[in-house]
Structure 1
Amino acid sequence: MSGMLPVALGALAGIVGLMGGGLYVFQERLLYLPQLPSRAYDVLPSNFAGLGFEDVFLRSADGTRIHSWLVYPSADEAREAPRSTLLYFHGNAGNLAHRLPDVQSMVALCSCNVLMVSYRGYGMSEGSPSESGIKQDARAALEYCMAGGGDGAHISPRRLYVFGRSIGGAVALWLAHQYPNVIRGVIVENTFTSVNDMIDTVFPRMLRWVKRLNRNRWDTQSFIPDVRVPVLFLSGRRDELVPPRHMDVLYERCRSGTSPLCKVVHIEDGTHNDTWYRGGRLYYESITSFIEEAQKLKPQQQPE
């Protein structure tokens, strides 16, 4: 019996090693889910009343070709009025088409254009997703907007805002932290403090050691006190995936930091994926009033 113990321990160590190796190599496939439910677009913005759009293809710094939709009102008179533009960063699953009902309401109720960014490896974009790669994609989208959207017909570089849902909130806050002199404000919905904190939430205690192998940290809580632009937090209080306390922590750290305007709106019956729907007019009116208030503030200077 005593001879079996080293064998059993060796087998267990081998299993743990294989598990750790698999998690390290394939962790992006666990975090980023472009194939659920599909990478294929089943509808286009033009299928939604009141929306016009342009296909936009961007090049990230490493040469990866990224697909986006620039969505705006289809009526000419609505397009002529000064409008803000939201850079829209979605969650970790699906594609741009799945977010069109939400974007339709943003365009109609918030008087904005929306640049919907498809991360690398999602939808019609090339490459494979990773934290470092998605950050490059976000930069490319911002540079496109800073240039006025190509022909300058729909984007005012002085009215740029960033929106992010779930993991997109981590993207949005990171971009706003990097470019406070360009971005006028950031809106986040149901995002998390960090991926490591989410590992603590979803993994059993005995497996939380995998945090040591994580290279997709999205550690928003570490820098949010230094975000120097206005921030609006839209928190679904029945979020079953990201505990609402994550949004509470981010809000409190932001409020005590350098942001000139930090606001939170609770959608009491909002879950992880339907807060925008459950919130209804309150949700979109909160975005509209936030943009109006933030637009009155002077842009922040780039940090040293």
Structure 2
Amino acid sequence: MFSISELCCMFCCPPCPGPIAAKLAFQPPEPTYKLTPADDANVKYNLHLFERAEWQYSERDKSKVESFFTRTSRGNLITCIYVRCSRNAKYTLLFSHGNAVDLGQMSSFYISLGTQLNCNIFGYDYSGYGMSGGKPSEKNLYADIEAAWQALRNRYNNQVPKTTAVSEQNDIDVRFNISPETIILYGQSIGTVPTVDLATKHEVGAVILHSPLMSGLRVVFRNTKRTWFFDAFPSIDKVSKVKSPVLVIHGTDDEVIDFSHGIGIYERCPKAVEPLWVEGAGHNDVELHSQYFERLKRFLSIELVK
């Protein structure tokens, strides 16, 4: 049950979705990378990682990462990276990262994830994160992922670059065939919010929701049973419209987004597969458990090909 103070806060002076969103989610870190133009047309950029990015690979591996900017429908210029991890990848993961990180910090993980899953990874920074312009907001989240989706589809589908230097250097085929059924949307924590929203608009190969939240108010007030008009991030009301297969992953000891959120999202998914509940895992260590990669591999290599 709600306390008297909580009820007064909700009904006497209900908050707006924007402040809820800002309080819950938006903590962009100090940028851990920068981009510099790699050509006169400003089509491609060189990625420079700062020490805080904790890059775990060689300079040669960094050449697998293509960086560029794209503009959202709300006018913000956001950073995107395409990580070519495999020359025979069937799927590309459109990855929406969690809070308090940017693409620089995620780049090593993207290479590790893509290599183990035999996938390529497309990542982007939300407005106000990394080198992306604008400010973080719920509306910008939805515009950011839509711009990332369009950039992935338009820039890479069936393209053969004029030079194969990158392919020869990394032994990776640069010929792409990125159609909706070969794209898997992967959202982690706050990244599940734009992921669910995009998945209601486009039927894709699959959706992975890692530590998802049902809504902003439900994170603050765990006993909330319905979505109020002033709530933010109402994924619980959208996820039932997702037509693609959905894998939900959540740690049972999540101290940021309670485990009940993962259960609630899973129960609303029409095409949910067997979820992964990681016993004893918190909010930021699910990936450290062996069953994490095992479950993802089974989902991509077995369940999606049936």
Q: TM-score range by the shorter chain?
A: 0.7 to 0.9
Give the residue type in structure 2 aligned to 1:265: L
Provide the residue aligned with 1:56 in structure 2. Answer: 68
Provide the residue aligned with 2:212 in structure 1. Answer: 191
Question: Does the aligned pair in 2 maintain the 1:83–1:112 contact within 8 Å?
Answer: yes
Map 1:90-101; keep pairs closer than 5 Å. Answer: 90-101=97-108
TM-score (structure 1 length as normaliser): 0.75
Offset, 1:72? 1.8
Secondary structure of the corresponding residue to residue 178 of structure 1:
coil
1:180-210 deviations in Å (ceiling 9; x for gaps) = 1xx1101111111111211213xxx9xx9xx
Q: What number of residue pairs does the alignment pair up?
A: 261
Question: Does the aligned pair in 1 maintain the 2:14–2:230 contact within 8 Å?
Answer: no
1:144 maps to 2:165: no
Provide the residue aligned with 2:26 in structure 1. Answer: 33
> Cα distance 1:88–1:25, how it changes in 2: closer, same or farther (>3 A)?
closer
Offset, 1:46? 7.1
Return 5+ residue gaps in structure 2 as ranges: 1-8, 34-49, 161-173
Offset, 1:264? 0.3
1:115 maps to 2:115: no
Offset, 1:33? 3.1
Provide the residue aligned with 1:160 in structure 2. Answer: 183
Identity across aligned pairs (percent)?
24
Provide the residue aligned with 1:10 in structure 2. Answer: none
Question: Does the aligned pair in 2 maintain the 1:190–1:242 contact within 8 Å?
Answer: yes
1:287 maps to 2:281: no
Hey, what's the Cα distance between the residues in 2 that align with 1:266 and 1:28? 26
TM-score (structure 2 length as normaliser): 0.75
1:222 maps to 2:215: no
Question: Does the aligned pair in 2 maintain the 1:269–1:275 contact within 8 Å?
Answer: no
Give the residue type in structure 1 aligned to 2:120: N
Give the residue type in structure 2 aligned to 1:123: G
Question: Does the aligned pair in 2 maintain the 1:45–1:71 contact within 8 Å?
Answer: no
Question: Does the aligned pair in 2 maintain the 1:34–1:121 contact within 8 Å?
Answer: no
Question: Does the aligned pair in 2 maintain the 1:66–1:126 contact within 8 Å?
Answer: yes
Offset, 1:99? 2.4
Q: Would you tell me which structure has more helix in proportion to its own residues? A: 1
Return 5+ residue gaps in structure 1 as ranges: 1-15, 298-304
1:240 maps to 2:255: yes
Give the residue type in structure 1 aligned to 2:199: A
Hey, what's the Cα distance between the residues in 2 that align with 1:166 and 1:154? 32
Give the residue type in structure 2 aligned to 1:226: K
Q: Max radius of gyration: which structure? A: 1
1:268 maps to 2:279: yes
Most deviating of 235-244 and 91-100: 91-100
Secondary structure of the corresponding residue to residue 288 of structure 1:
helix
